[in-house]
Structure 1
């Protein structure tokens, strides 16, 4: 009870009692819908700014549990963490829970130390794009696709049209460039300890125990144990969350509205279809790692 009160006192009263702000970054990255805000820079920036604002906190702990997603949002979150760490001169500890794969691992690279569970899933340093092909199904159904564009490649990789090898080659070139950016960041942050005799950049993922041996992470442990070892048994933890109301968390800004009616307040989400698709995509990302 007293510990709970202590971490909520004004900062000037806390400086004799070490505590570490904790930010949880969980979920697929960039999949923003009315009912599922997703993990993006916009969704986590307030919590990150608040966590790094504590002048007397010696470090900030980031809990990562993500199967990946948008490479852009992953990098933006990484850059914000590093910028705040340098500006506020804070040590950053990243603690991986179930998964830090693909974009999730890119975010984890923001840590000065990356700590994992032996059974955490780590890695998947690569780029993926997936779609479907419905051309034969449309023929059987007698459905004709009609698309009108002002650019011959405006509907490249359209699932309702035959595969165009030129479009596929263009996509793979883009993926290769994004992949190379990812690899460069891994080498920049971990290059001095990465194992040379293993191909770490082919998209495979490993357990936390294996990842430690490869140099992708620093140690096996957990948040409480590692930070108590570093800052003493009296260190306290304060979970920082974004300052958003319940309705904002559930409503969002993409087609969902809050309405009052005879049955009380209800959520009218015109983006429910988008939310369903996003949920299925996120479920597929987690399933890739057996979760």
Structure 2
């Protein structure tokens, strides 16, 4: 027992020291940045053709013998020389990524990426969005969808590629594309609206605890967590959900008029192979396959806008990520759940 007691004291001292160091670093960084203008983000642009070329050349070096590789490089050099003498204007493809959480946080980067590409893109170019999202808040995904609508309004072709999931707000974004390409087993649909909340009013009454809800306006508060909900409040809340659902359906119908909207707007989800029959998507193919094909005739540019984080923000994000990983590991071991 004495060993465990000493170890606990040692561990407590170590944790205290680490926290103290982090606080000092964060305070120092805050003092340095005080009074300075917040640094802007940065747009990173990379040519995907070079990436694909590098993959091919690495494989060639492994598979071909010295003479074969030398002959191949000689032929490629001649081809490159001819192209330099008579350069061909290739179409441009701008590639964007959107990995959506419940708040559609990636919208902040997406808006800057779209602003940048629209300053140069023409109707002869193409924008490809690799989208992955299970949906989230109505207003957040409404803004993300409005950003994509800017591309359509500018007359630039928009292709949306879905490898894993584009459901609910994710499909709201996807439907803006003139062409939707899905992996065979990606999850699509969920054209519906859901809201849920617990109510502990009866528990509070059981322990003689009053909770007052005061409002100015008949429907300022319809359903609450602590107050007593009424049937009239439930009806109004459901009415609001129905209105939002109808707006969702109208939005999807505007960009994909070929859909039988009442048939697919039931909140159901479909895998890619079934979604093709429902006309939720236009083609079954992975984004890798599509981009590799486009790279043969076009110049592909990947755009990513990243915000510059201060030291306190980076420390906070690292700490938050560590806590999330620990909690996820603990929960997985506790429940032994499996998801498909």
The normalised TM-score by structure 1 is 0.71
The 5-angstrom pairing of residues 39-188 of structure 1 reads 39-40=106-107, 42-55=108-121, 58-87=125-154, 89-151=155-217, 153-188=219-254
SS of residue matched to 2:96: strand
In 2, the alpha carbon distance for the partners of 1:166 and 1:39 equals 38
Among 253, 256, 273, the residue aligned to 1:190: 256
For the aligned residue pairs, the C-alpha RMSD in angstroms reads 3.5
Among 89, 106, 111, the residue aligned to 1:16: 89
Contact kept, 8 Å, 2:121 with 2:156, in 1: the verdict is no
Residue matched to 2:103: 30
Contact kept, 8 Å, 1:59 with 1:90, in 2: the verdict is yes
The 5-angstrom pairing of residues 165-244 of structure 1 reads 165-192=231-258, 194-195=259-260, 199-229=263-293, 231=294, 233-244=296-307
Contact kept, 8 Å, 2:96 with 2:128, in 1: the verdict is yes
In 1, the alpha carbon distance for the partners of 2:137 and 2:106 equals 9
1:156-215 per-residue CA deviation (whole Å, 9 max, x = no partner) reads: 3111122211111111111111111111222222223x358x821111111011111001
Q: Identify the structure with the greater helix proportion.
A: 2
1:109-133 per-residue CA deviation (whole Å, 9 max, x = no partner) reads: 1111000111111001111111011
Where in structure 2 are there 5+ consecutive unaligned residues?
Answer: 1-46, 54-83, 329-338
In 2, the alpha carbon distance for the partners of 1:243 and 1:15 equals 32
In 1, the alpha carbon distance for the partners of 2:118 and 2:301 equals 12
The alpha-carbon distance between structure 1 residues 137 and 39, as it changes in their structure 2 partners (threshold 3 A), is farther
In 1, the alpha carbon distance for the partners of 2:88 and 2:149 equals 24
Residue matched to 2:41: none
The alpha-carbon distance between structure 1 residues 150 and 72, as it changes in their structure 2 partners (threshold 3 A), is closer
Give the superposition deviation at 1:105.
0.2
Number of paired residues? 244
In 1, the alpha carbon distance for the partners of 2:194 and 2:110 equals 24
Where in structure 1 are there 5+ consecutive unaligned residues?
Answer: 7-12, 32-37, 252-257, 260-264, 281-289
Contact kept, 8 Å, 2:199 with 2:225, in 1: the verdict is yes
Runs of 4+ in structure 1 deviating by more than 4 angstroms, as ranges, are none
The alpha-carbon distance between structure 1 residues 73 and 266, as it changes in their structure 2 partners (threshold 3 A), is closer
Structure exhibiting the larger radius of gyration computed from Cα positions = 2
Contact kept, 8 Å, 1:50 with 1:240, in 2: the verdict is no
